[in-house]
Chain A
Amino acid sequence: MSVTADAVRQVEEERLPSATSPAVTFDTAPERYRHWRLAVDGEVATLTLDIDEAGGLVPGYALKMNSYDLGVDIELYDASQRLRFEYPEVRAIVVTSGKDRMFCAGANIRMLAQSTHPWKVNFCKFTNETRNGIEDATENSGQTWIAAVNGTAAGGGYELALACEQILLIDDNSSAVSLPEVPLLGVLPGTGGLTRVIDKRRVRKDRADVFATKPEGIRGKQAVEWKLVDEAIPKRVWAETIAERAAEVAAASTRARTAQGTTQGIALTPLSPTMSADSIAYRYVTATFDRPAGLVNVTVRGPETDAPESLDAIHEAGDTFWTLAMTRELDDLVLRLRANELELGTWLIRTEGDSARVLGYEALLAAHRDDWLVNEIDLYLKRVLKRLDVTSRSLITLIEPGSCFAGVLLELAFASDRQYMLDGTVEEGQTPATIVLTESNLAGYPMSNGIGRVESRFYGDADHLAWLVRESGRAIPAAEALELGLVTDAPDDIDWEDEIRIMLEERASLSPDALTGMEANHRFVGPETMESRIFSRLTAWQNWIFVRPNASGEAGALRRYGTGRKAEFDRKRV
């Protein structure tokens, strides 16, 4: 259908406010940080949080008491990425505060109170992903994060500490850790707080209940006893103890020490995409917006040349190495679209290129898994694919002639809600599309539920999975892909255009909220992990609470906080 003139007008009108506030960009670098200082000393890096009160991303609030907003967390994410890629020698990361007696007061309340619901949801999602990434670095990169909590850590401040492997609290009889969201704000510690306290720190649930309703939090020895922190360290031995702990974890790190010459980090240079009102274009990833239809056409291009032959060549290429470049671009695109393009509800994912080359790159990486850079590229790709899994947009993959859905790129299809594969060709001279299943699909990139996308797709069906293993490594045409259950449908050239059009229009007409909920439910099957619980349980509850009047109404706790007036609650339990 032609979308009505009214709908177009509405879209344009609603875009006006965001046109006046600049779109969120995720492009930053240590020399431009306003809130963090990154210092590297041999194997230990120190990240010091020293928030510039006046440095809020959006006007309307001051970032007092080391409280953060999305801008602060964008820098934290950038730092965590650079530590992985630019500092291969770093094996321990100490997070601490540059403020006196205040580690971090969590997310800025005025910012939350003035934010729209989508902004809050997106902010929480991003901060959660960053904290999951920190845990991933500790677990899989040999970069262990330690929280040196040298002042009070409240709410999101304590949640940041929770993402670290160790929490060291200064024992000064005033610094406490706390999760005051419930008693003070009427919302949840939604950045993993509730989940990590019981799940990671194994705090008893009754104690967790006491802790999460106690606005002043818990200090010193009791915090240790309750397992909320690992150590309470007196002020006078603070610095040396922190250094000691950092040295210990560095020594124990599994981070690969490779041959001389390859321990050099690689630079993550600015991506500088070409932007227009209706497109974002990177070297390997392009997005064009179809605003009337409410969709984004995402095209991921395969490598332009054959994979190099040596590990050295990967290091030499650095951030121009295809897999890494493509992954970074996709990451940046996902983040920009999520933050800035709320009404483009469907992402249509295509690839372009030569499947053999994609497989060539995959094989090269597979041959050098023990190299730190290869490992980091692989982990990064895993995290970006996970971002897709928790993206509240309809993801539809179109597999057409000229595409290269092989191995790692085929994961994009499996991350999608549906996959359509053209059986045949629509233009003369084309070769029908094929897909190639590889280890990347069958054993490669786990989702937050701990298992891969193909395994999730055929959860509990060992026979089918075994069949797919037998069919891996070769080009599979559309009809077979359909039979193997790898695509949703495989219309031929006659049906293709109309089937896709109708499917997209139909989807665009559905309730965006219902779609978000439906997709989030369908994407995760089978086991739960701490990470999946954070997204499926904590986040879902938090997002519900965010829209309830008891939090965000005029007289709700979030809005009334700091006004001197008490929140008024609707006392009915729901």
Chain B
Amino acid sequence: MSIDYSEKIPNNVDLASDRRLQRALESWQPNFLSWWKTMGPAVPTQDVYLRTAVDVGKEGWAQFGHVAMEEYRWGVFLAERGDDRRIAFGEQKGEPVWQQVPGEYRADLQRLIVIQGDTEPASVEQQRRLGETAPSLYDLRNLFQVNVEEGRHLWAMVYLLHAYFGRNGREEAEALLQRNSGDLDSPRILGAFNEETPDWLSFFMFTYFTDRDGKYQLGTLKESAFDPLSRTCEFMLKEEAHHMFVGTTGIDRVVTRTCELMREHDTADIAPHGGVPLDVIQKYVNFHYSVSLDLFGSERSTNAANYFTAGLKGRWQEERRKDDHQLTEGALSIASVRDGRIASDEVSALLALNLDLRNEYVKDCENGLTRWNRVIERAGLDTRLSLPHVGFNRQVGLFSEHHVTPSGGVVGPDAWKAEEDCWLPSAADKAHVQSLMRPVYEPGKIAGWIAPPTTGINGKPFEYEYVHLS
């Protein structure tokens, strides 16, 4: 198959004259398309009003128009940078960044890229059937936008594998399409990406909490001494921001509608009235926040320390930090369970990099809560949403051996079991949310459990026909 590279695959990596990339893509691209057709969005569409990045500049990164999804132009973009970038941290701090993969770090870099790359198509797979219950065409369009962008992020990682990791890289790129979310024989690498996204509330929670983890991971890779990875991630972060927006405003709109129903019916129990009660929203927050915290890995990590020292993975906003950027000294306070209580320990800063990143993430997550609570407050209601304790419902790290309540109490297995349904979505909660999931495909109409957005996409009104179904 021959491809008109510059037209089909918008890029700023000189694809048209790179034989290695062309050759790699020739076999990969058809496989990607067939993956997209079998594992991508299940709802058949004619076209969707999508944003396509055709360049990294202001003009190019967001071109809107109706496109047939399988003709979406997944591009390859690296953020533009000056020539004189220097390594900002680790043992080789101050030296020029690498334009090639140093053999010494091939295995580690490849692993980091593969893990990042594996999450991108995973979420497409997890969200595959969501379109069937979209609350509006606007939301359906946002889902597809997120999906195509996750696809593009896969392309970005595959580009790195193809361009810099030789035959090995090509094989890993192939494997990214062969592993599938939830597949018993060949699952996605990270457990959290093997769960189906069952409903739209989960989708908004996922894009708020789990994609935000992705944002922070990309932020650390953006600092990498391996310049192509750094530049790739910088551009991806731009798109990731949209996913976060979908999550933030999605939960905004659910909370808004919930408050309306609570006022209208003067009760917190709005389930019979077709809404999602605030306590159910809180349980969804509890669940998605806690499983997303697991994605940061163990609080104490020698791997993360090695990556930092080697210059592969920095800290969030590394260059803005005011320390030696080598972490030969310094410590971080780390919470864990001691004698049945939450206690605090000191860990050397170098070993606590996962914790450092998680702390940044937690601060960021708080913003959403503040925002949603403002909605509740404006509605004159007293209830408030909150983030549970970091030790709550954890499967990874120091808390994984313990049962910690949302407020930070340490309880035994029996107490946990007795209260679990008050803290995490119960079967009944899930069934209720599921019962609300009825598709609304009529332009300008929206499902009853969610408020319409305050603005549309790219200046278009909410009523705009964002998706033409087939």
Contacts and interface: CB of A to CB of B under 8 A. Distances in A.
A505 B102 contact: yes
A495 B166 contact: yes
Given A491-B167, A505-B104, A5 B95 contact: yes
Given A495-B20, A495-B166, A495-B167, A507 B103 contact: yes
A499 interface: yes
Contact of B166 (A499, A508, A509): A499
Contact of B103 (A4, A489, A494, A506): A506
B98, B101, B104, B165: residue with the most chain A Cβ atoms closer than 10 Å: B104
Interface residues of A, number: 19
Nearest to A491: B167
Given A491-B166, A491-B167, A495-B167, A504 B95 contact: no
Nearest to B225: A1
Contacts of A491: 166-167
B96 A508 contact: no
B100 interface: yes
Interface in A453-477: none
Interface string B131-168: 00000000000000000000000000000000011110
A501 B165 CA distance: 11
Interface of A, secondary structure class, is: helix
Contact of A494 (B23, B98, B104): B23
Nearest to B102: A1
Contact of B95 (A4, A503, A505, A508): A4
Interface residues of B, number: 19
Interface string A506-542: 1111000000000000000000000000000000000
Contacts, number: 51
B311 to A, nearest CB: 10
Interface string B81-102: 0000000000010011010111
A504 B102 CA distance: 10
A333 B424 CA distance: 72
Contacts of B105: 1, 509
A394 to B, nearest CB: 13
Given A4-B95, A499-B166, A494 B102 contact: no
Contact of B104 (A5, A495, A498, A506): A506
Contacts of A502: 101, 103, 106, 165-166
A508 B19 contact: no
B20 A1 contact: no
A504 to B, nearest CB: 6
B100 A501 contact: yes
Nearest to B98: A1
B100 A506 contact: no
Nearest to B22: A494
Contacts of A495: 20, 166-167
Contacts of B98: 1-2
Contact of B106 (A2, A5, A489, A506): A506
A498 B166 contact: yes
A7 B364 CA distance: 41
Nearest to A493: B19
Contacts of B422: none
A489 B168 CA distance: 12
A482 B92 CA distance: 39
Nearest to A293: B103
B103 A499 contact: no
B107 interface: yes
Contacts of A508: 103-104
Contacts of B96: 2
A491 to B, nearest CB: 6
Given A491-B167, A495-B167, A499-B166, A509 B103 contact: yes
A5 B91 CA distance: 12
A501 B103 contact: yes
A489 B100 CA distance: 21
Interface of B, secondary structure class, is: helix
Nearest to A494: B20
Nearest to B166: A499
Contacts of A5: 95
Contacts of A2: 96, 98
Interface string B260-280: 000000000000000000000
Contacts of B166: 491, 495, 498-499, 502
Contacts of A505: 102-104, 106
Contacts of B19: 494
B238 to A, nearest CB: 29
Contacts of A498: 20, 100, 164, 166
Contacts of A506: 103-104, 106-107
A1 B167 contact: no
A78 to B, nearest CB: 40
A505 B108 CA distance: 14
Nearest to A507: B103
Given A491-B166, A494-B23, A495-B167, A503 B103 contact: yes
Contacts of A489: 167
Interface in B202-219: none
Contacts of B23: 494
Contacts of B167: 489, 491, 495, 499
Contacts of B164: 498
A498 B164 CA distance: 8
A456 B164 CA distance: 35
Interface in A478-502: 489, 491, 494-495, 498-499, 501-502
Contact of A1 (B103, B107, B165): B103
Contacts of B104: 1, 505-506, 508-509
A240 B105 CA distance: 69
A4, A503, A504, A506: residue with the most chain B Cβ atoms closer than 10 Å: A506
B97 to A, nearest CB: 10
A1 B104 CA distance: 8
A172 B244 CA distance: 97
A2 B105 CA distance: 12
Nearest to A505: B103
B277 to A, nearest CB: 56
Contacts of B100: 1, 498, 501
Nearest to A496: B166
Contacts of B107: 506
Interface string B18-34: 01100100000000000
A1 B106 CA distance: 10
Nearest to B104: A509
Interface string B351-371: 000000000000000000000
Interface in B67-125: 92, 95-96, 98, 100-107
A508 B102 CA distance: 11
Contacts of A509: 102-105
A505 B105 CA distance: 9
Contacts of A494: 19-20, 23
Given A495-B167, A498-B166, A502-B166, A4 B106 contact: no
A162 B373 CA distance: 91
A504 B166 CA distance: 14
Contacts of B95: 4-5
A420 to B, nearest CB: 12
Interface of B: 19-20, 23, 92, 95-96, 98, 100-107, 164-167
Given A1-B101, A4-B95, 13 more contacts: A1-B98, A1-B102, A1-B105, A4-B92, A491-B167, A499-B166, A501-B100, A501-B103, A503-B103, A505-B102, A505-B106, A506-B107, A508-B104
23 contacts: A1-B98, A1-B100, A1-B101, A1-B103, A1-B104, A2-B98, A5-B95, A489-B167, A491-B166, A491-B167, A495-B20, A495-B166, A499-B167, A501-B100, A502-B101, A502-B103, A504-B103, A505-B106, A506-B104, A506-B107, A508-B104, A509-B104, A509-B105
Interface of A: 1-2, 4-5, 489, 491, 494-495, 498-499, 501-509
Minimum-distance CB pairs A-B, first 4: A505-B103, A1-B102, A509-B104, A506-B103
